[in-house]
Amino acid sequence: MSAPLSLELRERYRRRSFQIRKGDTVKIVRGDFTGIEGKVNRVDRDRGRLFVEGLSREKVSGTSTLVTVHSSKVTITNLNLSDKWRADILEGEKPQAVAEQVPRNEENN
């Protein structure tokens, strides 16, 4: 499950979107909770939903319940790069120059 990166992260990593993980910071851009920013506490891959820190709703009985947000309604503002594999994916991918690509016809000559 992935979400779009913020403009700052897009420029830094040259990617439009990336996988969401626990510990990433996201900003909600659509829906009832627009503008709220918080860390991802849990990811529900079956339903495509995120549990964001500080997002809760009070029930009629007075108890509080966690509210989920769909991954398409958020942008990632800060990535959790504690995992070496995840950091290598972002740093290792560099766009190939068009000049470096050789057409198949000229390859055999």
Domain annotation for the chain: domains and CATH numbers: 2-107 (2.30.30.30)
Nearest to 20 by CA among 72, 59, 55: 72
Q: For the chain, how are helix, strand and coil distributed in percent, rounded to 5?
A: 25, 40, 40
Distance CA 27, CA 52 (A): 9
| Enclosing H/E stretch for 33 | none
Residue-wise pLDDT tens digits, 14-62: 999 999 999 999 999 999 999 999 999 999 999 999 999 989 999 999 9
The confidence score (pLDDT) of residue 98 equals 42
Residue 99 confidence class, pLDDT cut points 50, 70, 90? very low
